[in-house]
Amino acid sequence: MKVSDAVLSRSSVRAFKKTPIQNSVLQELLEKSARSPSGGNLQPWKIYVINGPSMKTFLDFQSTWSEPESPAYDIYPPKLKEPYRTSRYELGEQMYKLLGIARDDKEGRLAQVMQNFKFFGAPAAILCFVDRQMGPPQWSDLGMFLQTFMLLAQEYGIDTCAQEAWSMKNDSVSAFVDADENDILFCGLALGHRDENAKINKLSSERRPLDQWAKFL
């Protein structure tokens, strides 16, 4: 598969089939993803894999979670500026329209958000941590690692959805994986094979035009 094809065919998948994924495949994907560049070659990513039986244990473990938890970090700035605010709003509207969930259907919208915490039915997932000592440069390294992982997954016919939503469950997830107390959960990433019949997977996210964010000098 050409890199361009991997880039163009990847999209966030939010409904998965149960088809299992071998740990050996995930190991290969992780080893290749570690070829991602990182400033000073720090390789600041820390990954926990949940797959098959450990996914079941993880989902069962959720019944012990207390609500609410303090989020690991603010997913978005409190007063999101334009044009970011509109992009975020439009994505949400597009998603709920596809699902036939009305604007005032708060319960329906919340139920969809809560699907995050089931990994959208995916059989496998990775949880990505980073040491709290690290700052924006290393968090950006983690992003590069994740994009490499997601593109390689495309090559292997595996779909993905990165999930910052997990930052809201930092404490519970950290307890489950027995994370180092210095580490913070950046995100989860659901892994599996897309359910082609699920409406949500028809979502095709927009991009702002190039002249709005790039300037050729």
Ligand X SMILES: Cc1cc2nc3c(=O)[nH]c(=O)nc-3n(C[C@H](O)[C@H](O)[C@H](O)COP(=O)(O)O)c2cc1C
Chain residues that interact with ligand X, rule: CB under 6 A: 11-12, 14, 91, 116, 161-165, 187, 205
179 neighbors 185 (Cβ within 8 angstroms): yes
Nearest alpha-carbon partner for 191 in 116, 123, 131, 102? 123
Q: How far is the CB of 118 from ligand X (least distance, A)?
A: 12
Say how far apart CA 120 and CA 114 lie, in whole Å.
Answer: 9
Q: Whose Cβ is closer to ligand X: residue 163's or residue 174's? A: 163
Q: How far is the CB of 217 from ligand X (least distance, A)?
A: 28
Q: How far is the CB of 70 from ligand X (least distance, A)?
A: 17
Count CA atoms closer than 13 A to 159's CA, side-chain side.
Answer: 22
Q: How far is the CB of 38 from ligand X (least distance, A)?
A: 16
Q: Whose Cβ is closer to ligand X: residue 8's or residue 22's? A: 8
Question: Look-up: residue for tokens 């082609």?
Answer: 196
Q: Where are the alpha helices (DSSP H) in 13-83?
A: 23-33, 53-61
Say how far apart CA 150 and CA 166 lie, in whole Å.
Answer: 18
Q: How far is the CB of 11 from ligand X (least distance, A)?
A: 4
Q: Whose Cβ is closer to ligand X: residue 22's or residue 111's? A: 111
Nearest alpha-carbon partner for 153 in 124, 128, 127, 178? 124
Q: How far is the CB of 188 from ligand X (least distance, A)?
A: 8
Q: Whose Cβ is closer to ligand X: residue 116's or residue 174's? A: 116
CA distances from 172 to 64, 67, 130 (A): 9, 10, 16
Q: Whose Cβ is closer to ligand X: residue 123's or residue 188's? A: 188
Q: Whose Cβ is closer to ligand X: residue 24's or residue 62's? A: 62
Residues 6+ apart with CB under 8 A from 192: 13, 16, 17, 18, 19, 21, 121, 122, 123, 124, 158, 159
